[in-house]
Amino acid sequence: MPLLNRFRRSLPARLGIWIVLFAAMIFIAALGYMFSVSWNTVRNEAESQASQKLHNTVLRVNDILDDVKISADNTDWLVYRHLDEPEYMFDLVRNVMLNNPILNGCSIAFEPFFFKEKGRYFSAYGYFEDGSVQVEQEGNEQYQYHYMDWYLQPKLLNQPCWTEPYIDVDVSDGTASTITSYCKPLTAQDGSFAGVLSVDISLSWLSETLSAVKPYPHSYCIMVGRGGAYLVHPDTTKLLSQTIFTDTLLEPNPEITALGKAMLRGEKGMKKLKVNGSNSYVFYEPEKETGWSVALVCPEKDIFGGFNRLRRTVIAIVLLGLLLMLFVCRRVINREMDPLRRLVRQADLISTGDFKEPLPDSGRSDEIGQLTQSFSNMQHSLVNYIDELKRTTASRERIEGELRIAREIQMAMVPRVFPPFPERSDIDLFAAMTPAKEVGGDLYDYFIQDEVLYFCIGDVSGKGIPGSLLMAVSRNLFRVVAKPGLAPDQIARQINETVAEDNEQMMFMTMFFGRIDLQTGRMDYCNCGHNPPVLIDGGKARFLDVKPNTPLGVDPQWAFEGESLADVRGQAFLFYTDGLNEAENPAHEQFGTGRMLDVLGGSAFRSAREAVRRMTDAVTAFVDGAEASDDLTLLCLKIRKS
């Protein structure tokens, strides 16, 4: 964890790591592509080289076997010419051996009693011994050649053929060698079968020839006969005693089985499979004359040995290079970042309030030098800004203090003592005003003169100090203008003329004026563009039908129309400003008039204070902490019956 924290806090370490990671990604992509192409190139080259070597080897084998075949083909016509001279056959095999030193033996064998004077067995056989050619009669009761493969196959097939290799034991010294024979049937003058001309060749030369084919250090050749028996194999104990399928009998191996079947079918190709636990490429090709098949086994580790060594070397060089790059990058970045560290230390001092500490001069013109210059400029700007902020803060505190005083003065201008007329039991009145800012533009007022209750509620356009000033003027005008005998519409007309005069700011206000005769219960009122009040009667709430008129201060010549209710005793009224119905929640939904009626009509009217409290609680819950956009003023009034 400490190392991780150090890494997170060290910009040179992170830059170095990112640079090395980016370089590593480029190397990985480039080397991956190079290795992929190189691997395919090595593989294709190996296939081409191994296939060509195998093909050349098969051609050399074919050439030798063709020589053997030719030696027999060039001899049979002499046999036919001297079929009546049995002794000549010994001279003939001697000449064949002398003219073809690659042969291991030559035999001209005849059917029983073909030469009556020679009896049942007559076979002239020639062979090399101590560098000279020896001839002999090889047929007798101990060696009944008439039942040997080399004799029966051409007789039964009636055509030349190669025998499967077999072990030939020299009776003179007991040595054994692997022999294959090319055999041609001989016919008498009447067309009947007369005997067999056979030339033998040892397969030791074949083993030596195939063993010399080593395109790679551990590669080797095998040869199988037509039945799958090993004719050539590095393990000589398997020769003629095991087949290519022998090992699969105890432990099935579909890949080896498929290879053996392909070779026995005389196919040519390449297979990749496991041989003796090692991944290997096996190239195989048939020998057309005999039906045998030759396979070249090349271990994969040999084919790609040089490639793998080169790959390991390149990867090691790249890793060392990346480590060196990381070391150099860190050194270079550390050196380049040193001025920035000094700048950070000086910036820390500045953050503590020491603005007079000079920044180090790095003498650089690059980004770090520009940053140092920017910090220096910022330092000077901060000094000036803090001085200006101090002056601004002092001025703001003074203004806020004055606004608090103005708020207190404004709130003192509206009645705040409830109940307002404790000596009277027929009046239930309660009001509350909540400005949206330090000072607001709402107002309400009331007073009693000559058993008449005068009251008003208003909302000045705009907020803040301008609205509060107009509110104060309007409240004082109401107190001055409202006189006995003066109807609410007349009060509205006089206040409107005064407010509209010299109204350069084009400010206006909505107001509701009311006058209630406390003896008769008659209420005269005039609505000046204000929200209609809510009438609460018998547990039901509805809006009072009012003539809208126009707000005060808009048209000085407006003729306001008043209205009246004959007797409002026993009924309650809620007067309010639009800060109630237009109050918004965080989703910008308005409280609305419907919720107002639900709150007021949901239960029996108890008192004006309770009605205002219920409405205030409902609005507070609805807005759910959203900032108020307008002043909120409520005034609830009920005249009780005596």
Domain residue spans in the chain? 74-202, 206-302, 355-399, 414-639
pLDDT tens digits, residue range 127-156? 888 888 999 998 888 889 999 889 999 999
Residue 351 pLDDT > 80: no
Residue 353 pLDDT > 70: no
CATH of domain 414-639: 3.60.40.10
Averaged over 417-443, what is the pLDDT? 85
pLDDT given for residue 498 in this prediction: 86
**pLDDT-derived band of residue 391, with 50, 70 and 90 as boundaries?**
confident
For residue 436, the SS3 value is: coil
pLDDT given for residue 195 in this prediction: 93
**Gap between the Cα atoms of 343 and 339, Å rounded:** 6
pLDDT tens digits, residue range 297-340? 888 888 777 777 888 888 888 888 888 887 787 777 777 777 77
Lowest mean pLDDT among 66-70, 239-243, 356-360, 414-418: 356-360
**Gap between the Cα atoms of 292 and 408, Å rounded:** 120
**Gap between the Cα atoms of 330 and 328, Å rounded:** 5
Neighbours of 22 (CB within 10 A): 10
The answer to whether the CB of 548 falls within 8 A of the CB of 527 is: yes
Q: Which CATH architecture has domain 206-302?
A: 2-Layer Sandwich (3.30)
Per-position DSSP letters for 477-501, written without gaps between them: HHHHH--TT--HHHHHHHHHHHHHT
pLDDT tens digits, residue range 596-622? 998 888 777 889 999 999 999 999 999
Taking the model in full, what pTM does it have? 0.51
**Gap between the Cα atoms of 326 and 328, Å rounded:** 6
pLDDT tens digits, residue range 177-220? 788 899 999 998 888 999 999 999 888 877 788 877 878 888 88
353-380 core/surface letters (b: 16 or more CB in 10 A; e: else): eeeeeebeebeeeeebeeebeebbeebe
**Gap between the Cα atoms of 80 and 206, Å rounded:** 32
Domains 74-202 and 206-302 are alike in CATH topology = yes
pLDDT tens digits, residue range 472-489? 788 888 988 988 889 999
More confident residue, 205 or 243: 243
Lowest mean pLDDT among 145-159, 456-470, 496-510: 456-470
Q: State which H helix or E strand residue 69 sits in.
A: helix 11-73
**Gap between the Cα atoms of 35 and 29, Å rounded:** 10
User: Mean pLDDT across the chain, nearest whole number?
Assistant: 84
CA distances 640 to 345, 426, 525, Å, are 78, 5, 19
Residue 625 pLDDT > 90: no
pLDDT given for residue 5 in this prediction: 60
Domain 74-202 class, CATH top level: alpha beta
pLDDT given for residue 9 in this prediction: 59
> Measured at the alpha carbon of residue 314, what is the angle toward residues 308 and 315, in degrees to the nearest 5?
90
pLDDT tens digits, residue range 249-305? 888 888 888 988 898 898 999 888 888 888 888 899 998 878 889 888 888 888 777
How is the beta sheet containing 230-232 ordered, strand by strand? 230-232, 220-224, 292-299, 278-287, 269-275
pLDDT given for residue 76 in this prediction: 85
**CA-based diameter of the chain, in Å?**
181
